[in-house]
């Protein structure tokens, strides 16, 4: 898929997720098969740009191109300033968040709350596209609620404004993450516009990826929660889409090594104290469904130093691998 001057390696995109898609996780997912990885959202409020959290979110040093940064806000001029700020700090694609359903975002009329004001949507898109010389993309939902599904009209506004690709989560804001994704709505949007459309929602397996592409006609798919603790899902799906065949499940020793590498990157990026705390949720995701996972996660939550955390991880996965060898 092409976004402006950038031809992606494949049509698989890591969704932006607050508190998850930091630089270490984006790089890992790109290395394991994601054609594009979008950053956590960066606020358009310039008063926050000097904060440690925002500086980290705008840190793309060493990241594989293209570097896509999502911005969020409700004021056209502030959003334009945020786009320029992030381009100056290394962003090569600016993504606009009009899909986040979180109350704290919607309460300030940002995220998916913007879908209720189509005029404001147009003004924001026009302002951001005019502000930067890099491609601008947009993420939306199908509407605010079931009675107000205006995703198709928003898509046309986006195309007219010069948006270069549109990601659509197949639910309304009111749906949150419940119910089934509306692939028919995404298909209708794809049929109505000429820009690339990325389908998002309920894609957890290679078969689901193939089905969503077939049902929607979308140019790409976006994967979010299914990549938590399974960053290799992109490689797995890419292989299936290209060959129709399944890759074998990765061995436990390989998963252990991927996780340990991920942890080292988190410690480097955040420092040991904060990195150790942030690592806990990732370790929990990697260990989900494994025998003894609950007790392991309890031990991880008590490990407050990087070396102890690493040793606990090694011991757990080595024991799992040994049990598999005995059973075989």
Give the active site residue among 44, 100, 106, 175. 100
Alpha carbon distance, N-terminus to C-terminus of the chain: 43
CA dist 129 and 120 (Å) reads 14
How many other CB atoms are found less than 10 A from the CB of residue 227? 26
How many other CB atoms are found less than 10 A from the CB of residue 47? 8
100 counts as catalytic: yes
Q: In terms of DSSP bridges, do strands 6-7 and 2-3 run parallel, antiparallel, or are they unpaired?
A: antiparallel
CA dist 152 and 170 (Å) reads 12
Helices (H), the chain: 23-31, 52-57, 76-88, 103-106, 118-131, 151-161, 183-192, 206-216, 233-243, 252-270, 272-287, 293-302, 306-327
Q: How far is CA 136 from CA 6, 64, 88, 190, in A?
A: 12, 18, 15, 18
Which 3 state secondary structure label does DSSP give 164? Answer: coil
State the catalytic residues: 100
């Amino acid at each position: 898929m092409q976004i402006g001057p950038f031809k992606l390696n494949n049509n698989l995109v890591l969704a932006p997720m607050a508190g998850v898609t930091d630089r270490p996780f984006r790089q890992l997912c790109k290395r394991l098969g994601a054609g594009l990885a979008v950053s956590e959202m960066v606020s358009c409020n310039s008063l926050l740009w000097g904060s440690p959290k925002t500086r980290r979110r705008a840190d793309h040093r060493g990241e594989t191109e293209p570097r896509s940064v999502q911005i969020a806000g409700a004021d056209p001029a502030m959003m334009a300033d945020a786009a320029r700020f992030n381009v100056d700090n290394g962003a090569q694609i600016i993504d606009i968040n009009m899909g986040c359903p979180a109350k704290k975002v919607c309460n300030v009329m940002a995220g998916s709350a913007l879908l209720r004001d189509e005029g404001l949507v147009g003004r924001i898109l026009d302002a951001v596209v005019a502000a930067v010389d890099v491609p601008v993309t947009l993420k939306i939902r199908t509407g605010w609620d079931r009675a107000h599904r205006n995703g198709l009209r928003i898509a046309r506004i986006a195309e007219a404004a010069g948006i270069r690709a549109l990601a659509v989560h197949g639910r309304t804001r009111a749906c949150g993450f419940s119910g089934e994704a509306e692939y028919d709505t995404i298909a209708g949007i794809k049929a109505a516009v000429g820009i690339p459309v990325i389908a998002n929602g309920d894609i957890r397996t290679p078969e689901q990826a193939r089905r969503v592409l077939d049902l929607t006609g979308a140019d790409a798919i976006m994967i979010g929660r299914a990549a938590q603790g399974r960053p290799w899902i992109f490689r797995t799906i890419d292989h299936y889409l290209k060959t129709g065949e399944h890759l074998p499940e990765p061995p436990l020793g390989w998963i252990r090594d991927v996780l340990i590498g991920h942890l080292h990157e988190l410690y480097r990026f955040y420092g040991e104290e904060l990195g150790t705390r942030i690592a806990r949720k990732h370790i929990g995701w990697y260990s989900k469904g494994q025998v003894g996972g609950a007790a392991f996660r309890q031990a991880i939550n008590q490990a407050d130093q990087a070396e102890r955390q690493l040793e606990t991880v090694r011991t757990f996965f080595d024991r799992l691998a040994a049990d598999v060898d005995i059973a075989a």
